[in-house]
Amino acid sequence: MKKEISICNITAKQGQKAQGFINILDTETKMPITIINGQKEGKTVLITAGVHGCEYPGIRTAIELSQEIDPKEVSGNIIIVHLVNMEGFEQRRAAVMPQDNKNILRVFPGDKNGTISDKIAHVITTELISKADYYFDIHGGDLHEELIPHIYYPAKAKKEVVNKCKEIAKHFNVGYYAPSNNINGTFTSAAVNQDVPSLLIERGGCGLCQEEEVNLYKDDMLNILSLLNMIEYKRCHKDFTPEEIKYAIYLDAVKDGCWTCFVDAGQSVKKGDKLGVISDYFGNIIDTYYAEFDSTILYNTVAYSVPKGSSLVAYGRV
């Protein structure tokens, strides 16, 4: 471990904590971060929140962790980005970065010559992930989403990286962990391109920021830091032993319309069960969606409005 760790214009000396905003290349866009430089040698963990600006439980979790963790009790380094998409947060824009209308989660590893979302991804990749031994991207279910707490791991990374990810996922207090077969994207890009074991965690939804969910989230993250021998912590909650989702289907709207969902997050469904329908603006049903196999609902859209290409429901089988 270095005596000090610097990210852009922020430096934390050994045994100290430093906080501030880092600028995104040549733009006026900023991200609030905390660098915790531990008193002892150890691993470096990166935690990012607010890739989607309205996923509040993850954002509040990151902010509170940055306040509560004492660097003198840490072995290694913890880098916390409280809020990746500040503009989306301030404007209450679900899923996308307002300036370019892109989903930051879909543009990693980024491009320094691209639009603002590409530049944000580039900075996270080159300035933050490059320093990390482990990466956790914490989400919170967006304004239009209801979900059961679950985790995604990067299935296309090297076998040893995948195995590390799956082993860590088992220690979270969530119902399920599922493979992500994307090559790019926030956490998958880190694992596939830089061999950094990475997980994307989902907890919360519907624009709510409930204290109980935040406390469960903090308990999970502190437990994982303890598992990595970075802090001493005795976990407060453990209600679930996660099960692995072997196969999942993610349904998107093929047309604009009005969505009526017939299932809830966490619900078990049978093959052939009706999941929901899309109607046109005169009330005529234009699409109907059915479960292709017995499964559990991971998340569903609760919004009535669904633009073409937007997510509707995801379900998976153990």
Percent of the chain scored above 70 by pLDDT?
Answer: 99
pLDDT digits (tens, 9 = 90+) for 139-184: 999 999 999 999 999 999 999 999 999 999 999 999 999 999 988 8
pLDDT digits (tens, 9 = 90+) for 233-269: 998 888 888 999 999 999 999 999 999 999 999 999 9
Task: Name the CA radius of gyration of the chain, rounded.
Answer: 19
Name residues whose C-beta falls within 8 Å of residue 161's C-beta, 6 or more positions apart in sequence: 154, 191, 195, 196, 197
11: confidence class by pLDDT, cuts 50, 70, 90: very high
Distance CA 140, CA 146 (A): 10
CB 301 within 8 A of CB 310: yes
Beta-bridge partner residues of 179: 153
pLDDT digits (tens, 9 = 90+) for 41-76: 999 999 999 999 999 999 999 999 999 999 999 999
pLDDT attached to residue 91: 97
What value does the mean pLDDT of the chain take? 96
Classify 69 in phi/psi space as left (phi over 0), alpha (psi -120 to 50) or beta.
beta
One-letter identity of residue 96? V
Per-residue pLDDT averaged across 16-39, rounded?
97
pLDDT attached to residue 184: 87
Name residues whose C-beta falls within 8 Å of residue 207's C-beta, 6 or more positions apart in sequence: 54, 56, 142, 143
Name residues whose C-beta falls within 8 Å of residue 28's C-beta, 6 or more positions apart in sequence: none
pLDDT attached to residue 279: 98
Distance CA 211, CA 213 (A): 5
Distance CA 151, CA 165 (A): 10
3: confidence class by pLDDT, cuts 50, 70, 90: confident
> CB atoms < 10 A from the CB of 212, how many?
9
pLDDT attached to residue 185: 87
Record the pTM: 0.96
> CB atoms < 10 A from the CB of 136, how many?
26
Assess whether the previous peptide bond of 179 is cis (omega < 30° from 0): no
* Residue bearing tokens 């709207």: 253
pLDDT attached to residue 2: 61
CB 142 within 8 A of CB 103: no
pLDDT attached to residue 155: 96
Q: Structural domains in the chain?
A: 4-227 (3.40.630.10), 246-317 (2.40.50.100)
